Amino acid sequence: MKKILCICLGNICRSPMAAGILKKVSEDFGIPMQVDSAGTAAYHNGEPAHRLSIKVALEFGVDISAHRAQPFKLEFFDQYDLLLCMDFDHVQSLREKARIEEDLKKIHLYRIDQTIIDDPYYKGESDYIVMYHRLMEDALYWVKFS
């Protein structure tokens, strides 16, 4: 079973929604996989996803209400096959933590066109809706990626 970890800064906006979308898409296509998320910083450790991430995801049929934020841990390199980052700062942060070449090979930008998923934290609901759609655009690619 493929194991994917989605990464953003505080683990309450982008990466929980990305993980929720990947779980839903994998279930919809009958592709078993384990998906979770973490943050490069522990700003919100133990907190639920941002209220607008929860609200918008639920409007599209993705329930992330059980999510609790966690910081990235080195053992995640061993536990996951892919580490999908929302922007270049997250990619760099994980590269700096990588212990071996195999760790580096697991780190990817979530967007396959190499653009970033903007952080909607200080923005409004419409920005969370845009984030949802941008995450959804590449979800099937990662679910089918081997």
Q: Choosing from 81, 89, 103, 119, which is the catalytic residue?
A: 119
Residue among 104, 112, 120, 118 at smallest CA distance from 140? 112
| Residue 12 · residue 47 · CB < 8 Å | yes
Q: Choosing from 14, 87, 111, 134, which is the catalytic residue?
A: 14
- Residue 42: what residue type? A
In the residue annotation, 87 being an active-site residue is answered as: no
In the residue annotation, 6 being an active-site residue is answered as: no
Q: What is the DSSP letter of 66?
A: T
In the residue annotation, 119 being an active-site residue is answered as: yes
Rounded Cα distance, 37 and 115, in Å: 19
Could you count the other beta carbons within 10 Å of the beta carbon of residue 88?
11
Q: Choosing from 8, 36, 134, 138, which is the catalytic residue?
A: 8
List residues with catalytic annotation: 8, 14, 119
